[in-house]
Amino acid sequence: MEPLIYELSVPGRVGVDMPEPDVPHFELPENLRRTEFHFPEVSQIDVTRHFTRLSRMNMSIDTNMYPLGSCTMKYNPRVNEDAARLNGFAQVHPLQSAEGTQGALYVMHALQGMLAEIGGFAAASLQPAAGAHGELTGILIMRAWHRSRGDNKRTTMLIPDSAHGTNPASSAMAGLTVVEIPSDARGNVDLAALQAHLGPDVCGLMMTNPNTLGMFEEHIQEVCDMVHAAGGLVYGDGANMNAIVGVVKPGDIGIDVMHYNLHKTFSTPHGGGGPGSGPVMVVDKLAAFLPGPVVRIRPGSDTDEENDGVPFYEWHTPAQSIGRMRAFAGNFGMLLRAYTYIRVHGEAGLRANSMNAVLNANYIQARIKHAYHAPFGQDRWCMHETVVQGKFEGAPDIKALDVSKRLMDKGFHPPTNYFPLTVPEALMIEPTESESKQTLDKFCEAMLEIAREAVTSPELLKNAPAHAPVKRLDEVKAARELVLCCKIV
Ligand X SMILES: *Cc1c(COP(=O)(O)O)cnc(C)c1O
187 is an interface residue for ligand X by CB under 6 A: no
Closer to ligand X at the Cβ: 143 or 164?
164
Indicate the residue among 208 and 267 with the shorter CB distance to ligand X.
208
Residue nearest to ligand X (CB): 131
CB atoms within 10 A of CB 155: 14
Q: Can you tell me which of 126, 203, 205, 237 binds ligand X, judged by CB under 6 A?
A: 237
Nearest CB to ligand X, comparing residues 287 and 334: 334
d(CA 127, CA 341): 19
Asked if residue 261 binds ligand X (CB under 6 A), the reply is yes
Round to whole Å and give the CA distance between 331 and 75.
Answer: 19
User: In the bound complex, what is the minimum distance in angstroms from residue 10's beta carbon to ligand X?
Assistant: 41
CA dist., res. 430 & res. 383, Å (int): 9
- Interface with ligand X includes 413 (CB under 6 A)? no
Question: Rule CB under 6 A: which of 145-184 touch ligand X?
Answer: 164, 166
Within residues 117-136, the interface with ligand X by CB under 6 A covers 130-132
Binding test (CB under 6 A) with ligand X, winner from 125, 240, 353, 386: 240
Binds ligand X (CB under 6 A): choice among 276, 311, 377, 414: 276
Q: Which is nearer to ligand X, 258 or 447 (CB)?
A: 258
Count the residues of the shown chain that bind ligand X, applying the rule CB under 6 A. 15
At closest approach, how far in Å is the CB of 292 from ligand X?
Answer: 22
Distance CA 341, CA 274 (A): 16
At 390, give phi and psi (nearest 5°): -90, 60
Please give the Cα distance from 420 to 159 (Å, whole number).
14
Stretch near ligand X under the rule CB under 6 A, chosen from 237-245, 320-328, 381-389, 449-457:
237-245
The span from the CA of 266 to the CA of 277, in Å, is: 10
Nearer to ligand X, 239 or 454 (CB): 239
First-to-last alpha carbon distance for the chain, in angstroms, is 17
HSE of 151, CA atoms in CB hemisphere, 13 A: 19
Contact 145/297 with Cβ under 8 angstroms?
A: no
Q: Report the distance separating Cα 125 and Cα 317, nearest Å.
A: 11
For ligand X, the binding residue among 76, 162, 208, 209 (CB under 6 A) is 208
CB of 268 to ligand X, least distance (A): 11
- Closest separation in Å from C-beta 116 to ligand X: 19
Helix then strand then coil, in percent of the chain rounded to 5, is 40, 10, 50
Q: Evaluate whether 204 touches 232 at the Cβ level (below 8 Å).
A: yes
CA distance 139 to 235: 8
Name the minimum Å distance from CB 166 to ligand X.
4
Query: Which helix (H) or strand (E) segment is 81 a member of?
Result: helix 78-85
- What is the x/- site pattern for ligand X, positions 36-75, by CB under 6 A? ----------------------------------xx----
Task: Please give the residue ranges that form the binding site for ligand X (CB under 6 A).
Answer: 70-71, 130-132, 164, 166, 208, 212, 237, 239-240, 261, 276, 278
